[in-house]
Amino acid sequence: MRSVLEKLGIGEEAAGAFDGEWRGSGAVIEKFSPIDGKLLARVRSAS
């Protein structure tokens, strides 16, 4: 799954709000694979 995200240009931590450009200054939300429980990415929420 990590390789799919990398092909899309999504790093391990991504901004989670868009208003013409990607932003995020809130808490970090970790997303895990339901298949094996491995960390997929961290998304910084909007505040």
Token duo for residue 35: 């298949």
Is 44:16 a contact under the CB 8 Å cutoff? yes
Token duo for residue 26: 């809130």
Predicted pLDDT of residue 30: 93
User: How many helices and strands in the chain, by DSSP H and E?
Assistant: 1, 5
Predicted pLDDT of residue 37: 94
Is 38:32 a contact under the CB 8 Å cutoff? yes
Predicted pLDDT of residue 1: 61
Is 28:42 a contact under the CB 8 Å cutoff? yes
Predicted pLDDT of residue 19: 83
Q: What is the mean pLDDT of each run of 10 residues along the chain (47 residues)?
A: 74 78 85 91 83
